[in-house]
Chain A
Amino acid sequence: NAGVTQTPKFQVLKTGQSMTLQCAQDMNHNSMYWYRQDPGMGLRLIYYSASEGTTDKGEVPNGYNVSRLNKREFSLRLESAAPSQTSVYFCASSEVGVRVGQPQHFGDGTRLSIL
């Protein structure tokens, strides 16, 4: 049982290049999330998808776009990468929202460097 799978695991981009980070979950979860993790900042929510067909902005959405391709897959796109987007990106999923105590399950991250 793979859980949440992110690809690629590592990537180096040049400023201005575009890239799509892929995420897939095999737990039949309804909700999916994209976070970025920076030293001293914890995890910050970029976008989330409460259910298939919906997406909403999180705390730091500028410079990113997302697509909920189907129930399993949620991709994050950087249209024109900037050095400030150098970070570790985590995808997560949950059965429903956190109010009923459902945990978010995280992938192992994509380490992205932008030169």
Chain B
Amino acid sequence: QQQVKQSPQSLIVQKGGISIINCAYENTAFDYFPWYQQFPGKGPALLIAIRPDVSEKKEGRFTISFNKSAKQFSLHIMDSQPGDSATYFCAAPLGNDYKLSFGAGTTVTVRA
């Protein structure tokens, strides 16, 4: 069973629009929430991650926010570009330093 619930399963956004992906977790060993980006035929790659000392982190057009009381975190892609079309996975540490529990993934399609 999925320890991290991710939604939506897929989304389509126009170029220049905002993509929003949400994740909720049940329990976590410590507060570290990474997001991975995966292109077809490739392995996932770390996109951005948030640590417990901040509630929001921004890197370029990508922003992640974290709500500890609600046990939720989210990824916002601003000014979405066709090159952002990919599958995005959220993750949370499960049990120890080495066990990451991944969400089911969100496929983002950016229309030109």
Known interface pairs A45-B99, A45-B100, A101-B49; A40-B34 also in contact (CB < 8 Å): no
Q: What residues of B have a CB within 8 angstroms of the CB of A92 in the complex?
A: 43
Would B32 and A98 count as touching, CB distance under 8 A? yes
Contact across chains for A108 and B43 when beta carbons are under 8 A apart: yes
Count of A residues near B, CB < 8 Å?
Answer: 28
Contacts of A31 in B (CB 8 A): 98
Nearest-CB residue, chain B, relative to A38: B104
* Given A106-B44, A108-B43: A42 touches B32 (CB 8 Å cut-off): no
Question: B43 and A58: CB pair below 8 A?
Answer: no
**Quick one: CB contact mask for A80-96 with B, threshold 8 Å, 1 for yes?**
00000000001010001
| Cα–Cα, bound, A33→B45 (Å) | 14
For A50, what are the chain B residues with a Cβ–Cβ distance below 8 Å?
97-98
Residues of A close to B98: CB separation below 8 A: 31, 33, 48, 50, 56, 97-98
Residues of B within 8 A of A104 (CB): 46, 100
Known: A42-B2, A42-B105, A43-B102. A99 touches B93 (CB 8 A): yes
Number of B residues contacting the other chain (C-beta, 8 Å)?
A: 28
Are B102 and A44 in touch, CB under 8 angstroms? Answer: yes
Does A21 touch B at the CB level, under 8 Å? Answer: no
Q: How far is the CA of A40 from the CA of B30 in the complex (A)?
A: 26
How far, in angstroms, from A90 to B41 measured CA to CA in the complex? 11
Contact of A41 with B by CB under 8 A: yes
Across the interface, name the chain A residue whose C-beta is closest to B32. A98
- Which residues of B are in contact with A by a Cβ distance under 8 Å? 2, 4, 6, 9, 30, 32, 34, 41-46, 49, 51, 89, 93-94, 96-105
A residues with a Cβ closer than 8 A to B are 4, 31, 33, 40-45, 48, 50, 56, 58-59, 90, 92, 96-99, 101, 103-109
Between-chain CB contacts (< 8 Å), 27 pairs: A31-B98, A40-B104, A40-B105, A42-B6, A42-B104, A43-B44, A43-B102, A44-B102, A45-B100, A56-B98, A58-B99, A92-B43, A97-B96, A98-B32, A98-B34, A98-B98, A99-B93, A101-B32, A101-B49, A101-B51, A103-B34, A103-B46, A106-B43, A106-B44, A108-B43, A109-B41, A109-B43
